[in-house]
Structure 1
Amino acid sequence: MKPRTASPRFLALAGTVLLWASAFPAIRVGVDGLGLAALSFLRLAVAAVALLAISPITGLRMPRKRDLPLIAACGLTGMTAYQVLLNWGEVHVEAGTASLLIAIAPVFSVLFASAFLSEPVTRNIVVGSVIAVAGTAVVTLANGFSGFSLASLVVLAAALVQGVYHFASKPLLRHYSGLEVATYAMAAGAVFALPFAPATVEAAANAPAGALWSAVFLGLLPSALGFVIWGYAVARMPLAASTAALYLVPPVALLVSFVWLGETPHPLELIGGVIIAAGVILINRRSTATPAATDSGSLRADAPFAADERGSRADAVHGQH
């Protein structure tokens, strides 16, 4: 008998988790050496160029003119604003802590869909949202009220705009694949970040090599490659299985941050992270109860993907690490 080997779809899913988890400590390294504006622009520009470069292979279609305003909104919120806010927050918030706070983004996504897209507000949504918010409070106040900072609110704002992105991208996912939507939004986000280009040139000229490599790593791997392999996995696996794997991103981010940066999370932060995950999992349980749920975006906040009309559809809500 031949020895069993890991399937390509499993390896793709595991790679996605590792890439998106490693983005948080990489951001910390990059923002320390490049600054907020330069890191935001470089990551978006590298990712956009990479995704557009492979567009002949992925079969990228030109978007319809009438969809351009919505694509612009997705780029402004989920790409530009998300990058700026998360990078800003990680100036003062540890990478592992930021990954726990970003985990609440699916709650915002589901609440926006319920409020503006007339999706049903179930008991699981209400209870799960309350649980997730309680977990966020535990993470934010793990070191007491004296440890509370504006930076924590900035990271939560990043989670909020990511929720807006998934809400705004949902109409686009009826006509385009998730990879196409991600590519459009990434390119639009890079355009909106162009005002940072002059500061980027100056910052890059004086930045340490480690910070520059972090920016390239973030653009090529968590952003560009992460979208591609996540899409490969989602198109070939049940939605519940791929969704569940994304709950591993915060604990893996904590581990990577410990190894890479030497960050040790407060025990209460770990408890808060578990509470957030429990709330998001409870919200996601609605996908097994209603057909519309597979069309709602409630996975994690750094990586939206959906297979096109020829395959399985999913909105992945994992932050743009």
Structure 2
Amino acid sequence: MTRLAFSRAPQVGRLDALSLAAILVTIVFWASAFAGIRAGLEAFSPGHLTLYRFLVASAALGLYAILARIPLPSPADLGRIFVLSLSGITAYHVLLNVGQQTVPSGTASLIVAAGPVFTALLATRFAGERLNALGWLGTLISLGGVALIVLGRGQDLGFTRGALLILGAAVCTSLYFVFQRSLLRRMNSLHFTVWSLLLGTLPMLVFLPGFGAELASAPTGAHLAVIYLGLFPSVLGYLTWTFAISRVGASATTSFLYVSPVFAVLIGWLWLGEVPGRMALIGGLIAIAGVLLVNTRGRPAA
């Protein structure tokens, strides 16, 4: 994509063909990440998997930043980007990877699909957006669907713990999407994404102990899975997503995440042979229905 394409859009809120294409590219790559994480976890611990993935992403983005001479943000903006990235990059991916140790990839995607509801709630509180009665009803429906997924395996505490961690990851990424918007009003979205992923990688260095041993013992397939995660769902996925948010807005953009589980379940089946259980699918459908209600009928007319 050209430098011009990633500049700030003059008409925020307009879902044009370019913004829609960027969203769809992100959705497909992010959906594939759930299966990629499960494949990576066969050889790497959650912390090492997170570190490896974002070292790959940071190497690619760091090289690009040097070649393109991307300017360093002001110290104040760097601090804001670091705090946001600590939530939306570091915490999100660590929680997701730990959670997916016990939660299948398709089920994890169904839980993360509740993220747009958290985004809508945060945007209502902090970004001046409003929900009507149907919006609040959709919120309750979606959270009820997630609860059904989390509790769907009865006394399986490992699954429940993992599902709750993934739900926490969805909250972290919602915070990231909502509060990055103020920075995107004055920053090029490409520049924001580069610095965000680089700064979000720094706290992951706490996982360095033992990393070399896992690198040496991991099979080729695991390495390829993590490199794919670093280059496509991370670098390309975050670039196109931030670009879309800068043009359309966080709430409208994240409403498309309800499509992600469809791709994630299909990819998990083809790649890993995983199929979510009946309770997870029912809960996921309920959660997605709530998201649809929030994002189609849940806001007062302008």
User: Which whole-Å CA distance do the structure 1 matches of 2:104 and 2:118 have between them?
Assistant: 22
Query: 2:41 is aligned with what amino acid?
Result: V
Shift of 1:236: 8.9
- One-letter code of the match for 1:28? R
The yes-or-no answer on 1:171 pairing with 2:164 is no
Q: Which amino acid aligns with 2:209?
A: P
> Could you tell me which residue of structure 2 aligns to residue 42 of structure 1?
52
After TM superposition, list the pairs within 5 Å mapping 1:184-199 onto structure 2.
184-199=195-210
Matches within 5 A, 1:1-321: 13-55=23-65, 60-146=70-156, 149-230=160-241, 245-285=256-296, 289=300
Which structure has the highest helix share of the two? 2
User: 1:215: how far off?
Assistant: 1.2
| Cα distance in 1 for residues equivalent to 2:263 and 2:172 | 23
* C-alpha distance in 1 between matches for 2:234 and 2:279: 30
Q: Deviations over 1:257-315 (max 9, x none)?
A: 01111112112222222221222222223797567xxxxxxxxxxxxxxxxxxxxxxxx
Contact 1:37–1:199, Cα closer than 8 Å, also in 2: no
Identity %: 36
Structure 1 alignment gaps of length 5 or more: 1-6, 292-321
Q: Count the aligned residue pairs.
A: 285
Question: What TM-score does the superposition give when structure 1 sets the normalisation length?
Answer: 0.78
The verdict on how the C-alpha distance between 1:135 and 1:171 changes in structure 2, with shifts beyond 3 A counting, is: same
| 5+ long unaligned stretches in structure 2 | 1-16
Relative to structure 1, the CA distance from residue 229 to residue 164 in structure 2 (aligned partners, 3 Å threshold; closer, same or farther) is: closer
Q: Which amino acid aligns with 1:219?
A: G
Aligned-partner Cα distance in 1 for 2:147–2:69: 43
Relative to the length of structure 2, the TM-score reads: 0.82
Using the alignment, how far apart are the partners of 1:181 and 1:264 within structure 2?
Answer: 37
Task: State the AA in 2 paired with 1:197.
Answer: L
Show the counterpart of 1:300.
none
Contact 1:105 1:159 in 2 (8 A): yes
Give the distance between the partners of 1:160 and 1:233, measured in 2 at CA.
20
